[in-house]
Structure 1
Amino acid sequence: MMLLQQGVFLDPQQYVPPLISAVTTVVLFVVVFVVLYLLGRYFVVRAVKTSLRHREFDETLVGLAVSTTVGIIAVVAVALAATVAGFGIVLAAFATLAGALALAVGFAAQDLIANFVAGVFIIQDEPFTVGDWIEWNGNEGVVREIQLRVTKLDTFDNELVTVPNSDLANAAVINNVANDRRRVSVGFGIGYADDIEQARDAIVDEGSRIDGVLGDPEPTAPVVSLGDSAVVLSGRIWIDPNESSYGSVRARFVEAVKERFDAEGIDMPYPNTELSGGIEVTNVDGSEGATGD
């Protein structure tokens, strides 16, 4: 025993049992946590990875699932280890704090979570993939990269567009290259006095000569409307969008038909309006004149 100046005796032996108990608790907590964490990572993570790959999930989603599983295993291991070691009160306080924090973060990151969830569905459902030409809400571009939060696209003016995944998930997305055939349609107006069959033959013939145009289905040119100043024929040709550029083929088609119409004397009239009736003219000196139709 040690004698202090105030006359109080201090026995070091009285602190040995609490110290041993504290050390034992900490060691027990660490051992239980390590065992549970390692076992969980070995068995659960392997099962998750094997299951998802067996179902042919995208590797990005597999990696995300593995990371999430590891985090859950760590939390569960901490909770069980704390329970076994007798940290129940501390664990309860930690759980309350974690719940409040999760609620606050959830409200603050609603858009982020929405984009994240949308990214998961886009990657899994594959409405489009890297390299596809898509259109949505009046915009269009070629997909460069699909991430969990955003999708990056290149416009035809070589501009980079970054779109939140929730915008794409909630929009009607047109994938222009999803199928192995796509129709290119161009309206050609001819005069009412022109021969429809002659114009149709010219459109079909020029369409079939363009590189990249498929022979099946064959090019067609039905009359689709009678306009104010022209009879409109729809020139229709088919291409493989993965082999031929839609824009390039369409431009060559329009140019070839225009030159063919010029060579054969087929009119492509401008919009015009015909007026009928009479006009009355009054001069400044008061004299009047009239012309009829």
Structure 2
Amino acid sequence: MENKIATPSVTKKILNKYNLNLKKSLGQNFLVDQNIIEIISSSAAIKGDEFIIEIGPGIGSLTQSILNKLKTGNLLAVEKDAAMVEVLNDIFAEENKLTLINQDALKIDWPEILEKYNPEKKKVKLLANLPYYVTTPIIMGVLESEIELENMVFMVQKEVGERICAGPETKKFGSLSVAVQYYMQPEIIHQVPANVFIPQPNVDSVIVGLAPYPENIYQKEVLNQDFFFQIVKSIFQQRRKTLRNSLSRSAIINLDRDLVTQALNDEGIGIKKRGEKLSILEMISISNRIYKMREEE
């Protein structure tokens, strides 16, 4: 297609042509601002020879921009809605760089997908305009799979993007901040108003970029990753409580109050500090201390 899809007129034309009824259950809101599309694809710094994954291509607004930047690379688009897959297959019928799969991104085995569709092991980048209701599980599903990514660039609800990027001692800093930042380094790239979508959502959005750390000191330092995330969830489950209370009264992990008290004192943190005041490294240090103390019991 020569015309830019991400415009009000072309988007409406496509919706009418294919008689598409947008599904609220799938969070379908289509971008109709080519400048925003360009910011998303340009932020991924596509050189042209990568293997790109796009989650939720919809009618292909971002897909079109990515394909225009690819030369010898490939694009794998993952779309849950079978009706959208039919539309994409028609719009991009002559595009041999594109592979479409009709799957739920929440249920994908990402290492298996890369093994199947990226046998040449090209550098991998992931782009997405994520449905708001599944933003967190999709992002965490990709990160927890620990596939090697050059970067991720995605658009999410503004509040979620701010939580992802928040640092200690801020109101938005929480378990999501720690979970994402444990794996990759986030930044808010651009603010996106609600009026650049059809239909218009009730909230504004942001474009977020995730880049790998030159060296991931968090994964290097942690003794037991599963235990660490149980500690993190416990810390923020009742964020107004002190560390001692949130950890010793957690419904997520069973910890003896005296053990928690000793661990916090041994770490020089004290029993009255709140979890939102801690850095990720301090949380890892507490987690490691408690983990070792339990192992020694």
For the superposition of Structure 1 and Structure 2, which TM-score range results when normalised by the shorter chain?
under 0.3
Higher RCO structure, 1 or 2 (CA under 8 Å, sep 6+): 2
TM-score (norm 2): 0.26
TM-score w.r.t. length of structure 1: 0.26
> Structure 1 or 2: larger strand share?
1
**Structure possessing the higher radius of gyration over alpha carbons:** 1
